[in-house]
Structure 1
Amino acid sequence: MLPPFIIDQIRQREERERSIRDQPALQLPLPPKRPPLPQADDDGRDPDAPERGVVIIDL
């Protein structure tokens, strides 16, 4: 048999958890999520622009 104060603590904890769980929740009518747009491989750069980069020459 558990001491009365432990039983009381368990009861209080269960009541707190129940009150948190039973609180009304706000439900907003959100529009459905759209899938992300496909990303271009060229990151939006001009296709006619010359390729740029870094060249390292070790002498």
Structure 2
Amino acid sequence: MLPPFIIEQIRKREADERASYEQPVVEIPLPRPRPRTVERPSDDEPRRGVIILDL
């Protein structure tokens, strides 16, 4: 059997470990992401881009 002071040290260590796991967690409220809106080009504007022709 273990001496009483060793048993007390083991209990103290276990209590310290439990206390470190049971610390409250702070939750930071984050803004919700906005849904992306897809901008479609209107028919009034000409399409712009790059065309590569190989001659």
Greater relative CO (CA pairs within 8 A, separation 6+): 2
Greater C-alpha Rg: 2
Query: Normalising by the residue count of structure 1, what TM-score does the alignment of the two structures yield?
Result: 0.46
TM-score, normalised with respect to structure 2: 0.49
